[in-house]
Structure 1
Amino acid sequence: MQTHDLQGGPLLIYLHGFLSSPQSFKCQLMREWLKANYPQVTFCAPQISPYTDRAQQSLLTLLEGFLQEPKRGPIGLVGSSMGGFWCTYLGERFQLPAALINPAVRPARFIPAYVGRALQPYSGEEETFCLSQVDVDTMQRVQAELDAPLESRYWLLAQRGDEVLDYRDAQDFYQGQRQTIEDGGDHSFQEFARYCDPIIEFLFNEQ
């Protein structure tokens, strides 16, 4: 696990989608944008396992470690697709604000379609994964912890043209939270760069 010298400044944790990686386009875009515009913000993008129990435990360990840092500043979360789901899980667990980009809402509904299949990351790594019913059952238990009403602060960013997830599921789930829902677009969220600055404002400057 990469270590970070927080020095009291803000920390942004970016969580990538299912079978993606920290090398994804949006993750790298935000990393480079922060470096150029907000160098005082520490950027962390962990590799998230597609296995539910491993993902849950590694993310809890990561956040608990950061929260124990004596020099830590405010922490904000950004997540895309499945990463949006995990942001919501962590946001509720630790009361952290999060920006969610075309987020998955109830992943246990689509995980069964991947059970028993040889899965390879979209980012090109050679490692192969194979999910089992255990992953579905664990995800169902995790989902059960996210009953409404949501207690943390979220900003839903969704595009109606998402060909993978139905934006209406997220629209309903995050009812009462800040929402920006655009016509067109796709699951990658077209022209994401225009939201980098507003996301920083939402996570670290709004009360």
Structure 2
Amino acid sequence: MSPPITSRATVLQPSSAQATCPRPPITHLLYLHGFRSSPQSFKARRMAAWLAAQRPDVEWFCPQLAPSPRAAMRDVFERVAHWPRETTGVVGSSLGGFYAMVVAERLGPACRAVLLNPAVHPARDLAGYVGELEAWHSDERFEFRAEDVEALRELEPADLSARERYFAVIAKGDEVLDWREMTARVAGCRVKLLDGGDHALSDFDDHLPDVLAFLGLEQTGSKG
């Protein structure tokens, strides 16, 4: 395994006065993986392991997302429909970051969202992937259709509300997405902008404490 790509970071703070208002810690946490990825991604497994060891009281949901954006969002909203808005958080990586914005906007301004190198124009970026594809973490093949691209276009939030409840980790070294577009999309949110890094955030362990702090999570279980 290659060593993590580490980098310096600049933290951009939201200007809203509400950013300083304390929020209750998260009790329910949703993780959304990226395109062709799965709950077996490094970041998802790392967060799941931390919660199991330190905060088993937090309800954790990291589904295998359907290739169809409409089906993926339907399944997610069915699961979180009765979660308490004030203590619900969502973390999303790449396309999952886009979905995290969709979820947070739908659930309302109390829902906190962490965006890890989020896709901000997925309909445009994934239009060239229409056809049969293979998943990253298995030999499973699936069909990505033109109607799925259109669904992504329809899902895209017009704007982000209550931007102080968003935290984005963005790598200038992202080899897949343009960090400038990502940064522009989350202007006014809390942003950790990495001078280097990569799309996968191979140095995610370095950023996990910031993610957990933003969600109000502290260690209460056994260490390990």
If the length of structure 2 is used for normalisation, what is the TM-score? Answer: 0.79
What does residue range 108-187 of structure 1 map to in structure 2 within 5 Å?
Answer: 108-115=123-130, 117-124=131-138, 126-143=139-156, 146-151=157-162, 153-187=165-199
**Equivalent residue number for residue 6 of structure 1:** none
8 Å Cα contact 1:33/1:196 also seen in 2: no
Aligned partner (choices 61, 85, 94) of residue 78 of structure 2: 61
Aligned-pair identity in percent equals 37
Structure 2's unaligned 5+ residue stretches are 1-25, 218-224
Where has structure 1 moved over 4 Å in runs of 4 or more? none
8 Å Cα contact 2:27/2:57 also seen in 1: yes
What does residue range 96-107 of structure 1 map to in structure 2 within 5 Å?
Answer: 96-107=111-122
Structure 1's unaligned 5+ residue stretches are 1-8
Aligned partner (choices 17, 34, 41) of residue 58 of structure 2: 41
What CA RMSD, in Å, does the superposition of the two structures yield over aligned residues? 2.0
1:131: Cα distance to partner? Answer: 1.8
Residues 1:37 and 1:149: Cα distance change in structure 2 (over 3 Å) = closer
1:55: Cα distance to partner? Answer: 1.2
SS in structure 1 of the partner of residue 151 of structure 2: helix
Deviations 1:144-171 (A, max 9, x none): xx11243351001011111011111110
Q: Which AA in structure 2 matches 1:186?
A: D
**Equivalent residue number for residue 42 of structure 2:** 25
SS in structure 2 of the partner of residue 53 of structure 1: helix
If the length of structure 1 is used for normalisation, what is the TM-score? Answer: 0.85
Q: Which AA in structure 2 matches 1:204?
A: G
Higher strand share: 2
Higher relative contact order, structure no. (Cα contacts within 8 Å, ≥ 6 residues apart): 2
Whole-angstrom CA distance in 2 between matches of 1:66 and 1:44:
11
